[in-house]
C-alpha cells in the first residue's frame, strides 16, 4: 500500500488543533515511504528494532527525530543513545540504569518515557503501578537520563469501552506522578494512542500519538 498523504495532512491538522504530537511509526516500511512524509514536513518517526533504526537513520536526513518504541535490550542501548530523540517504552529500572550510564558516557541526558502496563494482555511490556512508583522514587539518582513522561498501549480489542478505561487509568497515573514529581524530571508527555484508538486516547488526555498503518498502510 502507498503512503496516504491526504490522511497525513488531515490527521496532522486534527492533532495540531489539539496540541497533540504526531509520531509516525515507520517500522517495516522502506526509507522511500519515510521520505514522502518527510517532504510533507514530518520529522518525528518511530522504529521498534535497533538494527532497522540504525540502517534507516544512516540513509535519511539528519534532522529526523527518531523515537524508539520497541522492547529495548540493555546491550543495544549504546547503539542508539548518540542520536535518539526519545526512548519510549522504558520498562525496567535496569534498563533505565543502562541508559543513564550510556547517556553520561556521551555527555547527554537521554529523554525517556516509562512504559506502563495498562492492557489486559499479559504479553505487553510495561511497569505496573507499584513498579512505576519505585522507578519514580529512584529518578533523582540519574543524570544521564531525563524521564519526560509515560507511555502505554491499550488492549488490542474491539471493546472500546475497555480501551477508554485503560487510557483513563494511564492518565490518572500520569496526573498522580506529575503531582509527586521530583525537580529535574518534568513529566510532560503522555504517549498513548495508535491508528485504531488514537481518537479515544486524545479524548482521554494523550499529548503524543504513535501512528503507523493509518499513514503507511497495513504492515505485512
Ligand X SMILES: *Cc1c(COP(=O)(O)O)cnc(C)c1O
Q: Residue 192 interacts with ligand X (CB under 6 A)? A: no
25 belongs to the binding site for ligand X (CB under 6 A):
yes
Phi, psi of 76 (to 5 degrees): -105, -5
114 binds ligand X (CB under 6 A): no
Rule CB under 6 A: is residue 177 a binding residue for ligand X?
no
Cβ pair 175, 133 in contact under 8 A: no
User: Is 190 an interacting residue with respect to ligand X (CB under 6 A)?
Assistant: no
CB 83 within 8 A of CB 65: no
User: Which residue among 12, 162, 195, 205 contacts ligand X (CB under 6 A)?
Assistant: 195
Q: Are 1 and 217 in contact (CB under 8 A)?
A: yes
Q: Which residues pair with 25 in a beta bridge?
A: 46
Alpha-carbon distance of 184 to 5, in angstroms, equals 39
- The smaller minimum CB distance to ligand X, of residues 155 and 196, is found at 196
Stretch of 53-61, 71-79, 94-102, 189-197 lying at the interface with ligand X (CB under 6 A): 189-197
* Contact status: 212 vs ligand X (CB under 6 A): yes
Among 69, 77, 112, 190, binds ligand X (CB under 6 A): 69
Q: In 30-126, where does DSSP find H-type helix? A: 31-39, 50-59, 77-80, 93-105
CB 63 within 8 A of CB 43: yes
In whole angstroms, the minimum distance from the beta carbon of 107 to ligand X comes to 29
Query: What is the C-alpha separation between 115 and 113, in angstroms, rounded?
Result: 6
C-alpha cell at 57: 537513520
Beta partners for residue 211, in sequence order: 24
User: Is residue 50 near ligand X by the rule CB under 6 A?
Assistant: no
Check residue 144 for interaction with ligand X (CB under 6 A): no
Determine if 124 is a binding residue for ligand X (CB under 6 A): no
Number of residues located near ligand X, criterion CB under 6 A:
13
Residue with Cβ nearer ligand X (25 or 57): 25
157 vs 196, beta carbon nearer ligand X: 196
Give the Cα separation of 137 and 132 in Å (integer).
9
Minimum distance of ligand X from residue 216's CB (angstroms): 8
**CB of residue 169 to ligand X, shortest distance in Å:** 17
Task: Please state, as a whole number, how many other Cβ atoms lie within 10 Å of the Cβ of residue 76.
Answer: 17
Q: Between residues 48 and 111, which has the closer beta carbon with respect to ligand X?
A: 48
Which stretches of the chain bind ligand X, using CB under 6 A?
Answer: 25, 27, 48, 69, 153, 194-196, 210-214
Amino acid at each position: 500500500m502507498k503512503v496516504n498523504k491526504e490522511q497525513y495532512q488531515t490527521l496532522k491538522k486534527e492533532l495540531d488543533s489539539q496540541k497533540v504530537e504526531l509520531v509516525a511509526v515507520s517500522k517495516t516500511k522502506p526509507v522511500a515511504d519515510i521520505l514522502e512524509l518527510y517532504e510533507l514536513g514530518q520529522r518525528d518517526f518511530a522504529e521498534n528494532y535497533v538494527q532497522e533504526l540504525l540502517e534507516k537513520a544512516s540513509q535519511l536526513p539528519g534532522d529526523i527525530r527518531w523515537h524508539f518504541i520497541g522492547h529495548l535490550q540493555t546491550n543495544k542501548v549504546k547503539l542508539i543513545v548518540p542520536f535518539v530523540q526519545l526512548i519510549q517504552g522504558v520498562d525496567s529500572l535496569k534498563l533505565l540504569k543502562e541508559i543513564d550510564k550510556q547517556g553520561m558516557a556521551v555527555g547527554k541526558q537521554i529523554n525517556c518515557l516509562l512504559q506502563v502496563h495498562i492492557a489486559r494482555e499479559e504479553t505487553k511490556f510495561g511497569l505496573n503501578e507499584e513498579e512505576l512508583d519505585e522507578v519514580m522514587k529512584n529518578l533523582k539518582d540519574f543524570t544521564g537520563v531525563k524521564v519526560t513522561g509515560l507511555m502505554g498501549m491499550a488492549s488490542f480489542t474491539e471493546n472500546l469501552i475497555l480501551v477508554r478505561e485503560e487510557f483513563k487509568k494511564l492518565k490518572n497515573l500520569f496526573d498522580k506522578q506529575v503531582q509527586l514529581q521530583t525537580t529535574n524530571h518534568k513529566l510532560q508527555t503522555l504517549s498513548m494512542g495508535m491508528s485504531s484508538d488514537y481518537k479515544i486516547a486524545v479524548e482521554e488526555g494523550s499529548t503524543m500519538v504513535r501512528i503507523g498503518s493509518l499513514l503507511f498502510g497495513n504492515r505485512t
